[in-house]
Structure 1
Amino acid sequence: MSSTVLERPGDEETAKKLPGMARAWATERAHHLGYEPNSTLVFHLELLVSELVTNTVAHAFGAVGITLCRERSGALLLEVCDHSPKLGNTPRVVHHSSIEAATHTHGRGLLLVEKLSTAWGAETHGTGHLVWSYPAPAEVEGGS
């Protein structure tokens, strides 16, 4: 298991760099845990980390905790923990009609998480949210 905490800087421009920092950390840690760097699973991991950390930058405050764990089955578990002022609002996928989806400029992130994971979920904790995901090890079905 590997964990890190990324401290959120005070200014928003620097905070926007957190997803890239998290992605680099996760890629290196996945390799250290025995996953092939250019595998589909690691590619999905990079996208998932980017999306979940971007959500924390947009909707939460404070430090971002990231954990990667290789389970006995060989599955990779990703957890992203934040401190959110919106306690009680568990992150969830919102499915839009095609017309709504064409006009919205945001709101597709957790749909991406759903599509790139074999399983995922979200929980509230004392100071925020924990979102977990098992990155899909193979190409996802249903792409357009």
Structure 2
Amino acid sequence: MIGVIDTEGDTVEWTFPAEPGAVRTARTAVRDKLRGWGLDGLADLAALLVSELVTNSLRHATGPIGVRLVRPPELGDTLRVEVSDPLPDPPRERAAGPDDESGRGLQLVAGSSRRWGTRPGDNGKTVWFELAVPG
């Protein structure tokens, strides 16, 4: 892990090097933080979806990978998770065949989250998704 920024308890950001161990480290960091926030019910799903997006970043981009969790009051019952990398091109959903080894990550994110999307940034792009916080 390159760095961690934890702001006032409702946002945390990590930066990971673009290397294979980043997937496992990001998954663990997300799971641990969500459990620390008392969001145990979201921890495993968020960690799975983060690992899919970090894996996509490793395959297609170079440079550091950012992961951010946001749970500010204005989002209400929503947790926003963001994964950023230096590649400017947005990811594309693909129709993976039954024998394909890849191509299902964005399908998993789209099917498991409340909503998701991408946005350009100054140094690449961010893929984000939102999960409903159990009430």
The two structures have a TM-score, normalised by structure 1, of 0.76
Deviation per CA, 1:92-126, whole angstroms, max 9, x where unpaired? Answer: 323x3xxx612433211100110110110012223
**Percentage identity across aligned positions?**
31
1:44 CA displacement: 1.1
For residues 19-63 of structure 1, the C-alpha deviation after alignment (integer angstroms, 9 at most, x for no partner) is: 100001111111222312xx2x22210111110000111010110
Q: Which stretches of structure 1, 4 residues or longer, exceed 4 Å deviation after superposition?
A: none
2:119 partner letter:
E
- Give yes or no for the alignment of 1:28 onto 2:32: yes
TM-score by length of 2: 0.81
Partner of 1:90: 90
Mapped to 1, the partners of 2:121 and 2:78 lie a distance apart of 24
- What value does the CA root-mean-square deviation take over the aligned residues? 1.8
Larger RCO, structure (CA 8 Å, separation 6 or more): 1
Kept in 2, the 8 Å contact 1:5–1:63? The answer is: yes
1:54 equivalent in alignment to 2:50: no
Q: 1:80 aligns with which of 78, 83, 102?
A: 83
Given that 1:44 and 1:136 are in contact with CA atoms closer than 8 Å, whether structure 2 keeps it comes out as: no
What is the aligned residue count?
122
Against the structure 1 CA distance between its residues 136 and 93, is the aligned structure 2 distance closer, same or farther, given a 3 Å change threshold? farther
Partner Cα distance (1:136, 1:20) in 2: 24
Residue in 1 that maps onto 2:46: 45
Return the index of the structure with the highest Cα Rg.
1
